[in-house]
Amino acid sequence: MWYNGFLDLSVWQLVAVTLLLTHVTIVGVTVYLHRYSAHRALELHPALKHFFRFWLWLTSAMLTREWTAIHRKHHAKCETVDDPHSPVILGLSTVLRTGAELYAKEAKNAETLRIYGKHCPDDWLERHVYSRYPNGGITLMAIIDLALFGVIGLTVWAIQMMWIPVWAAGVVNGLGHAVGYRNFECRDAATNLVPWGILIGGEELHNNHHTYPNSAKLSVKKWEFDLGWAWIQLFSFFGLAKVQRVAPIAHQVSGKRSLDMDTAMAILNNRFQIMAQYRKLVIAPLVQQELAKANTSVRHLFHRAKHLLGREPSLLNAQHQARIEAMLEQSQALTVIYEKRLALQQIWVKTSANGHDMLEAIKQWIHEAEASGIHSLRDFAQQLKTYSLRPALA
């Protein structure tokens, strides 16, 4: 019958097809718009780029230049009043409920498109079809869904239209800056939502991405799964993609004790991994020691101590700062490792433009850490000497 559509699918077949269609859209967003267009972390075959442009026009009415410009501005102005969709500034509820509206509003900002929309498609198709008829694609998609699936095709079409506004504009841009876990203390509030997401194609690993925005691979831990990276590997196998950049790998050479320029550059290159190691190897064990010795009346001060002492300072509010100060008053050892953490972080902030100054600053930091009398800090300082830009030769 006509109302069942040309394919006349069962309910479960319709569910499977809907998930497949929305997944293609997610792949288009994460691989083409995000990792390729916005960050140039990989190169794509022209045929694949044209396919994704066309598909995203059909299923979301998104234009490459608009999405790319808005996302680049988000990174450049993250967690400020100029961020197009920051839950820190606008409130989580606002971004979750009106993420698509925030996107549409920023897309009308000519300055955003001029400054951040460079090197995006500007061919005949873009000017005369996609940009000229932004709603033409989703109208055509509605007709196709009705023809293929019958009346229920309107539901399939509605789900396709909601998929990106809900998952990307709402969940990733909202919850991805509010809740979740953090592998790295980057300077904004980005979080990883789950380590093995499928529906969002790897975009849920938002903290990893904000730490290494130009990496084609968003997963960094062995137990994290980036489905977008799996697609990139498949495209690469068939010659349709070429990876340009991934997150740096921290190489350590066993037995290395010399602190040279190679070591200094390796530490700078892997500073986020190193600070994560500092939290694990220095802060965590010392917190446990101090907690075991603490008087019952002050033990509550050590609640979430590892998290607070390892947190990016710019993200600490007044309550957090007061808790840290009260905690440090109870422990000289914690005061030392906290101050040394801040000092280490300041080395690459102040000296990254001058390698020799950075090398001297690291040498001084290591000397003071080794003389601190704190075993975990001393061991960490010695470990820093083993970093290298190149892996050890077999």
Give the model confidence (pLDDT) of 204-249 as tens digits.
999 999 999 999 999 999 999 999 999 999 999 999 999 999 999 8
Question: How many Å apart are CA 355 and CA 268, to the nearest integer?
Answer: 10
Roughly what angle, to the nearest 10 degrees, separates helices 92-107 and 64-76? 130
**28 and 66 assigned to the same domain:** yes
- Give the closest residue to 198 by CA, choosing from 14, 17, 30: 30
**232 and 257 assigned to the same domain:** no
Write down which residue in 201, 222, 243 finishes a domain. Answer: 243
If you average pLDDT over residues 16-37, what whole number do you get? 97
**238 and 257 assigned to the same domain:** no
User: What is the model's pLDDT at position 2?
Assistant: 62
- Give the closest residue to 310 by CA, choosing from 347, 341, 266: 341
Share of the chain above pLDDT 90, in %: 80
**209 and 264 assigned to the same domain:** no
What total of structural domains would you count in the chain? 2
150 φ/ψ sector (left φ>0, alpha ψ -120 to 50, else beta): left
- Range of the structural domain that residue 272 is part of: 252-388
Nearby residues of 73 by Cβ (< 8 Å), 6 or more positions away: 82, 83, 84, 106, 112, 115, 116
Mean of all residue pLDDT scores within the chain: 93
Backbone phi, psi, residue 243, to 5°: -70, 130
Residue 252: in which H helix or E strand, if any? strand 251-252
**214 and 257 assigned to the same domain:** no
Residue 388: in which H helix or E strand, if any? strand 387-388
CA 176 to chain centre: 8
| Residue that is written with structure tokens 């509550």 in the block | 300
**294 and 172 assigned to the same domain:** no
**257 and 236 assigned to the same domain:** no
Query: Does any domain span residue 120?
Result: yes
**121 and 73 assigned to the same domain:** yes
User: What is the model's pLDDT at position 390?
Assistant: 82
Query: Does any domain span residue 394?
Result: no
Is residue 343 over pLDDT 80? Answer: yes
Place 4 in a pLDDT band, splitting at 50, 70 and 90.
confident
Nearby residues of 180 by Cβ (< 8 Å), 6 or more positions away: 191, 192, 193, 194, 206, 207
**257 and 370 assigned to the same domain:** yes
- Give the closest residue to 63 by CA, choosing from 120, 109, 111: 120
**135 and 12 assigned to the same domain:** yes
Query: Does any domain span residue 170?
Result: yes
Write down which residue in 208, 243, 278 finishes a domain. Answer: 243
**202 and 285 assigned to the same domain:** no
Query: Does any domain span residue 154?
Result: yes
> How does pLDDT run across 359-383, given as a tens digit for each residue?
999 999 999 999 999 999 999 999 9
Residues 231, 237, 242, 244, CA torsion sign: positive
Query: What is the C-alpha end-to-end distance of the chain, expressed in Å?
Result: 68
Q: Show the tokens assigned to 231.
A: 């697609």
Write down which residue in 194, 225, 243 finishes a domain. Answer: 243
